[in-house]
Amino acid sequence: MQLLNLLLLAGAAQAHYRFSKLILNGEPEAAEWTSVRMTKNYQSNAGVTSVNSPDMRCYQAKAGTHTATVAAGEVLGFVANAAVTHFGPVQFYMARVPDSADINTWDPAGNVWFKVASISAVPPLGSGESTWPAYNKKSVEFTIPKSVPSGKYLVRVESIALHQAQSVGGAQIYLSCAQVEVTGGGAGTPGPLVAFPGAYQASDPGLLWSYYPIATSYTAPGPAVWQG
């Protein structure tokens, strides 16, 4: 029985994933948890299931240790270990770290997050790769807006897995936060600003999925993407 339980746990971990490395200038970081704050699922790969949990911020287990440098207008990516093995949208948020704060320990509570990219559904809707561009990808990426002000930021990636989201509370959110310093930024005013938890409600249509009948449209949860 103990062996069976271990095998079941191993199978579950293989079906899940984590975002533990940045991709800078097209190259993944050499080691996990370098610029990405270590998450609580570093062993289990399990997702967050309560959108009301403080884990919705960064899901972190430890403080940060390193900050990557990226220029505004450049592409920033995250490695998915081992791949994004559940269908659903992948979204990216940023939060400006106050100049007086230590980026390694700053807690991004309150209305500090703005959405910078969303890899969402492409009609017609289904549960395969043709609908969900990030599904089964080993990495995901977005472009840092050119007009984002220079400074230190947390960059939050989230993959909203919808495979068990036939009822409220069934969505699984796989997320992590990277620490970056943006250089060469602009004079934009990012927004709207939202909080985690708070930005999503468990009953949001974007956190639910019906295999039958399949909806004709899908909108990912959260605010509009800041266009910069």
Mean pLDDT score, 62-87: 97
Mean pLDDT score, 139-158: 98
d(CA 124, CA 211): 13
| Of 113, 94, 60, the residue nearest 181 (C-alpha) | 94
Burial class from Cβ neighbours inside 10 Å (0-12, 13-18, 19+) for residue 163 reads: middle
Taking only the tens place, the pLDDT of each residue in 109-129 is: 999 999 999 999 999 999 999
What is the pLDDT at residue 166?
97
- What CA–CA distances, in Å, run from 162 to 44, 56, 145, 169, 219? 19, 16, 28, 10, 13
How many Cβ atoms are within 10 Å of 78's Cβ, its own excluded? 25
pLDDT band at residue 52 under the 50/70/90 scheme: very high
At residue 124, the 3 state secondary structure works out as coil
Q: Are strands 172-183 and 68-71 parallel, antiparallel or unpaired?
A: parallel
Q: By percentage, how much of the chain surpasses pLDDT 70?
A: 94
What is the pLDDT at residue 9?
38
